[in-house]
Amino acid sequence: MKFKALLALPLASVTLVALASPAQAANADGLYLGVGTGFSSLKNDDSDVGDFIESGSDDFDVDDDDNVYKAFVGYEYNRYFATEAFYADLGKVRLEGNDVSNTDLESKAYGLSLVGKLPITDWFELFAKAGMAKWETDVDGHLGNASVDLEDNDGIDPVYGAGAQLNFHPLLLRAEYERYDFDSDYEMDSFTASVGWQF
């Protein structure tokens, strides 16, 4: 019985894709939304991060591999141009000192991007995006003998990225890379896969 159920899953998936006609994707202008997850990575080295949080020290190791969660809602004006509003939880960067001390930097961002699209087929497209993000980084913990109190940071800075999208209207599947340019001393890369719905 379990074997039959396992066989039914791929058949159901193929049926759903067949029902989501690619021909409809060419006329899928309008509202869409989605959610995604992935992982983040810090671009900067240890001393840069120390400057960002004004720690007065770079005697720590950086653990920057954490999960990313995001949501977006957009409007496609035609096959080549859209705008998107987004929210992203970029996870936690941990600074591990040489003793028991450590500090966590948790970053979140929301904003608006312009999206340029390049249709390859009726159901497959490449895209690039650029926009602005309002970001906040909460700093929690200490680094032992740091000479300056650690403080939270926030600001408004650019975000940009690129990716690919499958349009099986009304379903969309997306994979993308984004760079959150919070500060010259603190830049986050995110790699996510998303699923969404086109109206």
pLDDT at residue 133, rounded to an integer: 96
Closest to 80 (Cα-Cα) out of 39, 128, 38, 41: 128
Please give the domain boundaries of the chain with CATH numbers for all domains: 2-198 (2.40.160.20)
Residues contacting residue 39 through CB under 8 Å, at least 6 positions apart: 65, 66, 67, 68, 91, 190, 191
pLDDT at residue 83, rounded to an integer: 97
Q: Encode 40-60: b = buried (16+ Cβ within 10 Å), e = exposed.
A: bebebeeebbbbbbebebeeb
Q: Which amino acid is at 57?
A: S
Higher pLDDT, 149 or 91: 91
Mean pLDDT in the chain?
Answer: 83
Q: What predicted TM-score, i.e. pTM, was given to this entire model?
A: 0.79
pLDDT digits (tens, 9 = 90+) for 83-140: 999 999 999 988 887 666 788 889 999 999 999 999 999 999 999 999 999 999 998 8
**Tokens representing residue 76 in the block:** 């496609």
Q: At residue 164, does pLDDT exceed 90?
A: yes
pLDDT digits (tens, 9 = 90+) for 168-187: 989 999 999 999 998 888 89
Residues contacting residue 83 through CB under 8 Å, at least 6 positions apart: 74, 75, 77, 112, 113, 114, 115
